[in-house]
Amino acid sequence: MLYPQSNACRQMADLSGFWEFRFDPDEVGAGQGWSAGFDPAEIIAVPASWNDQFADWRDYIGLAWYQTTFDLPWGWRGQKILVRFNAVSYLAEVWLNGERLGEHEGGHLPFVFDVTGRVKDAGNVLIVRVDGKLAPDRVPPGELKGRPGAAFPTVSYPDTTYDFFPFCGIERPVLIYTEPQAAITDLTVVTEIDGADGVVRVRLACAADEPLAARVTLDGHGFSGGTEEAVEGGAAALTVTVPDALLWSPDAPSLYDLRVELRRDGAVADCYTLPVGIRTIAVEGDRLLLNGEPVKLLGFGRHEDFPVVGKGLLPALIVKDYALMHWMGANSFRTSHYPYSEQMLDMADRLGFMVIDETPAVGLFFFEDGLEKRDRLCQQMIREMIDRDKNHPSVIMWSIANEPHTASLEAREAYYRDFTVIDHPSRPEAVASFKAMADLARDLDPTRPVTLISHEGALEESFEFVDVVGLNRYFGWYTQSGQIDLGLGYLDREIELIHTLYPKPLIFAEFGTDTIPGHHAQPPEMFSEEYQAEFLTKQIKLADTKPFVVGQHIWNLCDFKTGQAVHRMGGYNYKGVFTRDRRPKLAAHRVRALWRGEDGS
């Protein structure tokens, strides 16, 4: 899937701004014909979650209606016209001028409607009904009402199976754009390294059944080259070799400018430009290799989360968070727990951050209620994520899920007594689901490793199907509370056990402690800045002694909003090394010193 762009052959306009809005708690909108136009009760900003924009609606996770009007920009008439929603959480149903365009389920991935022939020159009314509800058969799931083995130990309000606030609304831009009638519909760029040469392979898909040629040119770093091929059956494959290529890496995120043209009798019918980073990523034994060299990921789990906008796209926050991560000496992050905005990934390409790109499959459980639908949605989301993000050099790995509740209760009981792993500790439904998901990710993209992030330790049988083991661990926090050294002793034993069972690279995908800024204690105690600093630095040092631990992602870059629960004071998770307004806690300085070298320079 290509992001819309304006160039000599295409145009794009952003419909974001102030839209008309109406909450629909009684679910009367459909019956009263709001899809053809409604009397607004509020004005709302798009993009942004609705929850924090009004005085009384924070916890409202139901139906709401958005409406905007627009005229077609000058010169667009007669072209193919599409509307793209970059993300609407959770379920969107869309109408244009009273006509239903369709719907999309899943809050973090884009969807497009072809509105050619339906859009008028002036006075178009675009209406979106957003359904934010939580349900067991949604991804991520909710409303589990504390079912054992499927939810957090205490039910939070709103009732999610995951630990962040279920913000909803139109949270990323809405774009309208043109495509030529004979259009490049998709590009897949794969890079290889051959000695000192970089090999750039471009696969093009196009919508046209006429004789066309595809041409690519690649420019940058003193290189300029290209090639041309005939389009056959709506596809073409082109290869450009770059002698003495500058490779993409966190130290030097070199990008080349790729320009792709579709040509009819020598004249340009469509064109598209894309930055390309030449790099390879692979797993060999228990090492992760970037450009053939072992690499270690230093960084964070994060959230798209900020006051007032909720999960809404906030470009300045993207800049700020990269500045903070860079200041810390980080080179990587995970898009916990859903694919982040495309703008976030564009920046990762440019700034040289390695990204583990994660689907919205957080907090899955494997009881029957809705299992089939959840499985289908998980697969849909893997497809949509890979389709959207496959051309980013920064994306080095796909994460198919975070913290599913996979182990049987019996297996957990034996494990947490003395790390005994019983036969077949995972629920068979979970094993089947994850095998299918990992296979799908590899089929769609054989060039990137696949990971699963789990808290089940050695009980996670699905580690069998992935290339990299992702482990979330809070020994010394949720267990061995107050006893960091005891917790780390267990962790040391556990990762050796996991590594024996699954001799693959392992990433500490989450570790951290809730920390109230300004709360100090000597000796360190839980919730103090000193406790967090000691916990993180000791776990980082443990990771450094294990060659197979190829990543350390602290949980979390910043404090973030959650539902209300006894373990979430004031409705926040305080595991950030920065506060929600991006101020450092003591741990930020200590970890920085470790990651950047002892003097912190």
Residues of span 421-450 touching ligand GCB by CB under 6 A: none
In angstroms, the CA 406 to CA 427 distance is 6
Please name the residue ranges forming H helices in 295-397. Answer: 315-328, 342-351, 371-389
With CA atoms as reference, report the closest residue to 476 among 520, 530, 512, 518: 512
| Residue 510 appears among annotated catalytic residues | yes
Residues of span 92-151 touching ligand GCB by CB under 6 A: none
How far apart, in Å, are the Cα atoms of 492 and each of 65, 299, 300, 539, 571?
51, 20, 21, 10, 32
Strand order in the sheet with 256-264: 223-230, 213-220, 256-264, 267-276
* Closer residue to ligand GCB in complex, CB, 143/349: 143
**Interface with ligand GCB includes 472 (CB under 6 A)?**
yes
- Give the nearest distance from C-beta 38 to ligand GCB in angstroms: 37
* Closer residue to ligand GCB in complex, CB, 322/474: 474
- Give the nearest distance from C-beta 576 to ligand GCB in angstroms: 10
- Give the nearest distance from C-beta 15 to ligand GCB in angstroms: 32
**Interface with ligand GCB includes 455 (CB under 6 A)?**
yes
Residues of span 540-569 touching ligand GCB by CB under 6 A: 555
How is residue 520 written in tokens?
């100090």
**Interface with ligand GCB includes 300 (CB under 6 A)?**
no
The one among 20, 131, 510, 530 contacting ligand GCB by CB under 6 A: 510
**Interface with ligand GCB includes 515 (CB under 6 A)?**
no
Q: What is the largest CA-CA distance in the chain?
A: 77
Contact track, ligand GCB, 321-360, x by CB under 6 A = ----------------x-----------------------
In angstroms, the CA 424 to CA 410 distance is 11
3-state SS record for 449-482: CEEEEECCHHHCHHHHHCCEEEEECCECCCECCC
CB of 563 closer than 8 Å to CB of 156: yes
- Give the nearest distance from C-beta 278 to ligand GCB in angstroms: 33
How many CB atoms are located within 10 Å of the residue 209 CB?
Answer: 10
CA atoms within 13 A on the CB side of 100: 10
- Give the nearest distance from C-beta 411 to ligand GCB in angstroms: 18
With CA atoms as reference, report the closest residue to 563 among 305, 367, 300, 301: 305
* Closer residue to ligand GCB in complex, CB, 22/303: 303
- Give the nearest distance from C-beta 304 to ligand GCB in angstroms: 13
**Interface with ligand GCB includes 305 (CB under 6 A)?**
no
- Give the nearest distance from C-beta 440 to ligand GCB in angstroms: 22
Residues of span 29-48 touching ligand GCB by CB under 6 A: none
| Residue 461 appears among annotated catalytic residues | no
Residues of span 402-421 touching ligand GCB by CB under 6 A: 402-403
Element (H, E) at 354: strand 354-358
Classify burial at 144, counting beta carbons within 10 Å of its beta carbon; exposed 0-12, middle 13-18, buried 19 or more.
buried
* Closer residue to ligand GCB in complex, CB, 254/454: 454
Contact track, ligand GCB, 151-190, x by CB under 6 A = -----------xx---------------------------
Which of 342, 358, 510, 530 does the annotation list as catalytic?
510
Tell me the three state secondary structure of residue 136.
coil
Residues that bind ligand GCB (CB under 6 A): 162-163, 337, 402-403, 455, 472, 510, 555, 573, 575
Q: What positions carry a catalytic annotation?
A: 403, 510
